[in-house]
Structure 1
Amino acid sequence: MDLVHNWGVDVVRFLQSEFKNYDELMMAASHLGDPRNAFLLYFPLAYCLHKPTGIRVLWLASLSEWINALLKWILHGERPYWWVLDPRTHHSEHAQLQQYRLTCETGPGSPSGHAMVTSSVVFCLVLSTIQNTRPRIFLQYVIWSVFAVFMFAVNVSRLFIATHFPHQVILGTLLGIILTLLVYKIDLQHLKLSRCVTASFLMPTSCIVTFYLLKWCGLDPQWSISLATKYCAYSEWIHLDTTLFNAVYRDAGSVLGYGTFMFGFTRLLRTENGISDKKGGKTDSDSLENASCRTVWLKMPNIILSLLVCQIGENMKPGLHSAEFYYFVTYLKFCILVILVMFTASFDFLKQDKCIQQKNK
């Protein structure tokens, strides 16, 4: 792998040299590809505009990030910013790469979580948009071109800030697209609460088992944290929310929040508003809504409120009492955020249902 890593470092050095005046733009692109945005940005937008798509986005974000965490432990990938300084490596120059405030991620590098989660979620949004709006061929080319440019920008930004090697972002992008193709046709709207609870339990449990299996095999599952702490330019750039366990507990909490809402809140709202709970009835999730300008305008209050709730929740972070406490708060926070987003998005639909019922009377 030394040959691949050396070539990757040359690519990173070239990007940092050629685009050194665009560092803020690169970090903005990297931020847009942050896996957290799948839950805090793409999920609220998708769910407010089209519920089935929002549900797919939530599940794909959770599944892709969970699988990514397991693969990171198994593949044991390096990161450029520490690899060039680590005496274990065989880099010819050992020249330090430029580091930025988003550089010092603590998990292993392969495959890229930004590339995998973002490609999975955005690919789902593209498929849903084309399927539900059925645009002309020219517009379809435009949509696919925007997707390609967006993913290219995210991947290049991850290389620029020296967080990933080229092969890691390519692998992450391909795995994210493949996962979406496998999951897209599955009906995720009528999952029972028991399945959501099971998934919420299995996600962190599988990672804990993997963690201790690596220890049992004589490997250090926290090797990347040690390297990140040692070679990061500034200690304040290292954050607990970049660890693999924090990501997995975010996924588990989101899945539980979805199951809780679908089991409890949806049933309560339907009962209070006289909405049919029969599978054969016409429900909100069964209707296909075109994401037209009119639809976006009608949903704007729901979108703004949902995004506001997510941003407030994301800014509420616990103190560093312990890593376990931090992970528990992350689990609980994303469970509640998903419930609040889904509840907020329901208000507009309920008003529409009441208007329809009044007209029918």
Structure 2
Amino acid sequence: MESTLIAGIAMAEALQNRLPGLENMWLWVTFLGDPKNLFIFFFPAAYYASRRLGISVLWITFITEWLNLIFKWFLFGHRPFWWVHESGYSSQTPIQVHQFPSSCETGPGSPSGHCMVTGAALWPVMTAISSQVASRSHSPWVRAIPSLAYCTFLLAVGLSRVFLLAHFPHQVLAGLISGAALGWLMAPRVPMERELSFYGLTALALMLGASLMYWTLFTLGLDLSWSVSLAFKWCERPEWVRLDSRPFASLSRDSGAALGLGIALHSPCYAQIRRAHLGNGQKIACFMLAMGLLAILEWLGHPPQISLFYIFNFLKYTLWPCLVLALVPWLVHTFSAQEAPPIRSS
């Protein structure tokens, strides 16, 4: 295993030093592949394109991110930015690698969440686009474009994670394979508009299941916070260690999104919009308004205390599906109806 880790460091060094001028590109790619962006950008974009597609993206995102958390707890994967120091490799071998603000994540490294969660959540998007292309073109080369774009984007995300010293190549590969497999398995089985109790129980199962697993392993003598202490120990700047990279931050996000999805689907606003048909202009307006409201939520910041942050994160991601699915479309539809000129009878 040590030879695999050393080869991963050599690959990161090559990406950082032998491909000059690509730093901003890798930083932008890793930002796009962040699982958090699946909630705040890809989910509303997919939903306003297709109601079923948006719900699929959201459901697969929070289920896969929860599974990624569980896998990381059991696999105990090191991250390159601390392994080079903790193992003593950097003192034995001269290497030229450096950290970035996105390097200092606090959870274990295997498998890569960027690759696993993003790969799974974008699978239904890729298949939906592929079916649209296939219905309009008989050329096998044109039909292959969505699949090729999907694979290219995920490969770029994986390389960016290696570049940043956030993951080793084998962790990226594990994330890519598991993400594509989960996307393929889950996309046809996404529950659509179940009872509110179903989503409430799903949120409760995510929260209690992970918490029970954590405390069971802790009772057995396994310190699941080992990666947090290593991140603080070896990150070049303390401010680079973000609260939202902690394992329980993703858990609060996932359970909140599950509950928010159920509340949104059973709200009066959604029931009214469900019967209406929004035009393309209205859908674009919905997306822009949703992004504006998100900017306000981000501007509010978050509490510095870790326990209050988890509560705030849970409430924020409970609110977000309600805004995207119900409140924003209802507002756009209501104001559009008021602004429409009355039809005069001749």
TM-score (norm 2): 0.89
Determine if contact 1:35/1:113 at 8 Å carries over to the other structure.
Answer: yes
* Equivalent in the alignment of 2:324: 341
C-alpha offsets along residues 211-245 of structure 1, whole Å, 9 cap, x if unaligned? 21221221211000010000001111001100110
Deviations along 1:307-349, whole A, 9 cap, x unmatched?
A: 22223323432221x2111001000001111101112235567
Segments of structure 2 that go 5 or more residues without pairing to the other structure are none
Residue of structure 2 aligned with 1:311, choices 295, 303, 310: 295
- Give, as a single letter, the amino acid of the residue that structure 2 aligns with 1:324: S
Give the root-mean-square deviation of aligned CA atoms.
Answer: 2.6
Task: Give the distance between the partners of 1:267 and 1:155, measured in 2 at CA.
Answer: 37
More displaced stretch, 172-181 vs 252-261: 172-181
The AA in structure 2 aligned to 1:242 is S
The structural deviation recorded for 1:48 is: 0.8
- Distance in 2, Cα, partners of 1:175 & 1:314: 31
8 A Cα contact 1:84 1:95, kept in partner: no
1:72-106 deviation line (CA, Å, top 9, x unaligned):
10100000010010047799527473101111000
Counterpart contact for 2:255–2:314, Cα < 8 Å: yes
Equivalent positions of 1:102-251 (< 5 A) are 102-132=102-132, 134-136=135-137, 137-251=140-254
Would the aligned equivalents of 2:13 and 2:95 in 1 still touch at CA under 8 Å?
no
SS of residue in 1 equivalent to 2:188: coil
Runs of 5+ in structure 1 lacking a partner?
276-282, 290-294
Shift of 1:191: 1.6
Aligned-pair distance for 1:297?
A: 4.7
Structure 1 residue identity aligned to 2:219: W
Is 1:301 the counterpart of 2:285 in the alignment?
yes
Q: Structure 1 stretch 147-156 or stretch 303-312: which is displaced more?
A: 303-312
What is the SS of the residue equivalent to 1:170? helix
Query: Given the superposition, is the C-alpha separation of residues 72 and 52 from structure 1 closer, same or farther in structure 2, using an over 3 Å criterion?
Result: same
- Equivalent in the alignment of 1:85: 85
The one of 312, 331, 335 equivalent to 1:329 is 312
Shift in alpha-carbon separation, 1:351–1:318, aligned structure 2, 3 A = closer
Q: Does 1:260 align with 2:255?
A: no
Residues 209 and 64 (structure 1 numbering): CA distance in 2 closer, same or farther, change over 3 Å?
same
- In 1, Cα distance between the equivalents of 2:330 and 2:60? 22
Q: Structure 1 residues 168, 191: closer, same or farther in 2, change over 3 A?
A: same
Counterparts of 1:187 and 1:149 in 2: how far apart (Å)?
25
In the superposition, relative to structure 1, how do residues 41 and 254 fare at CA in structure 2: closer, same or farther (>3 Å)?
A: same
One-letter amino acid matched to 1:192: E
Amino acid corresponding to residue 328 of structure 1 in structure 2: I
Amino acid at match of 2:39: F
The amino acid of 1:176's aligned partner reads: G
Judged with a 3 Å threshold, the aligned counterparts in structure 2 of structure 1 residues 110 and 318 are, in CA distance, closer, same or farther, namely same
Match in the other structure for 1:280: none
Paired residues of 1:126 and 1:147 also in contact (CA < 8 A) = yes
Contact 2:130 2:147 in 1 (8 A): no
**Deviation of the 1:303 alpha carbon:** 1.5
Match of 2:2 in 1: 2
Contact 1:303 1:345 in 2 (8 A): no
On the 8 A contact 1:240/1:323 being kept in 2, the answer is yes
Kindly indicate whether the alpha-carbon contact (under 8 Å) linking 1:84 and 1:96 is maintained by their aligned counterparts in 2: no
- Measured against aligned partners, the alpha-carbon deviations of 1:91-146 in whole angstroms (never above 9, x if no partner) come to 95274731011110000000001111111122221112223563424332122221
The one-letter code matched in structure 1 to 2:121 is V
Q: Equivalents in 2 of 1:44, 1:266: separation in Å?
A: 17
8 Å Cα contact 2:122/2:183 also seen in 1? no
CA distance in 1, matches of 2:185, 2:335: 35
CA distance in 1, matches of 2:113, 2:300: 23
| AA of the residue aligned to 1:340 | L
TM-score under structure 1 length normalisation = 0.86
Alpha-carbon offset, residue 298 of structure 1: 5.0
Q: Which letter does structure 1 place at the counterpart of 2:292?
A: L
Measure how far apart 1:166 and its partner are: 0.4
Give CA-to-partner distance per residue, 1:272-303, whole Å, 9 cap, x none. x9x4xxxxxxx87xxxx9xxxxx755521111
1:63 aligns with 2:60: no
Assess if the C-alpha contact under 8 Å between 1:2 and 1:91 holds in 2. Answer: no
Deviations 1:46-91 (A, max 9, x none): 1111000000000011011100001110100000010010047799
Aligned to 1:278: none
How many residues of Structure 1 are paired with residues of Structure 2 in the alignment? 336
Q: Check the 8 A contact 2:102/2:240 in 1, yes or no.
A: yes
| Cα distance in 2, alignment partners of residues 154 and 300 from structure 1 | 27
Q: Aligned partners of 1:150, 1:346: CA distance in 2, in Å?
A: 34
Match of 2:36 in 1: 36
